[in-house]
Amino acid sequence: YSADLGHYVGDAHVPLHTTKNYNGQLTNQKGIHAFWESRIPELVADEEYEHFVGRAKYIDDILEASWNAVRVSHYAVDSVLSFESTLSASWPDDMKYTYEDRGRTNIRTYSKEYALAYEEMLGGQIERRMNNAIICLGSMWYTAWVNAGQPNLLRYEEKEVSDSLKNVLAEEEEYWRQGRINGREHDN
């Protein structure tokens, strides 16, 4: 459940997850979703982003905190789309994209220069949304632990996992070793 919650909290902090135009398909910006959510963080997060966001805090109203994350994300939709549109109009077409090897595949993706220019226009928005997701998730986990009576979590380390879970984990590890994806590919 904690991993599922992490997925949903992360998704709630992505502006494009709050709009019908989630991938720029309505504004001729197809692919902007992966550009904002993946390409830019892949290029700059390790070197530029600071993810030490402080201690988790108890959340009095989880539902309100959840909807607040969605609202704040939605407020950023306009800048996500309009900034990229402005940049695209001023950027030479032959410098907007590049080709890179991803595993065994050569893909077309936004160029590093274009991505960095867009990230600069956003003024740290992606890092802020990521950091808000981190503190929100940590706070939700902390709140759940407090509400559960602050159980000793060390006792769960000693618990044996089921044979069916062992099989699933072994299968996933084998997919990983072979470089295969167990699921659907993302749009480029």
Higher-pLDDT residue of 180, 70: 70
Specify the pairing of strand 97-102 against strand 105-110. Answer: antiparallel
Higher-pLDDT residue of 32, 181: 32
**CB of 69 closer than 8 Å to CB of 122:** no
CA distance linking residue 151 with residue 82, whole number of Å = 47
CA distance linking residue 131 with residue 65, whole number of Å = 15
Residue 174: its pLDDT value, please? 85
Q: Residue 173 — pLDDT band, cuts 50, 70, 90? A: confident
User: Given a cut of 80, is residue 185 above it in pLDDT?
Assistant: no
User: Given a cut of 70, is residue 182 above it in pLDDT?
Assistant: no
Nearest alpha carbon to residue 75 among 125, 145, 36: 125
Chain mean position to CA 166: 27
pLDDT tens digits, 110-153 = 999 999 999 999 999 999 999 999 999 999 999 999 999 999 88
Residue 188: its pLDDT value, please? 45
Nearest alpha carbon to residue 49 among 113, 136, 137, 128: 128
The pair of three-digit structure tokens given for residue 76, joined into one six-digit string? 């950023």
Q: Distances in Å between the alpha carbon of 110 and those of 44, 79, 91, 92, 141?
A: 14, 18, 12, 12, 35
pTM metric for this prediction: 0.80
- Dihedral sign for Cα 172, 176, 177, 181, please: positive
Nearest alpha carbon to residue 188 among 116, 96, 125, 110: 110
Choice among 108-112, 153-157, 176-180, 184-188 with the minimum mean pLDDT:
184-188
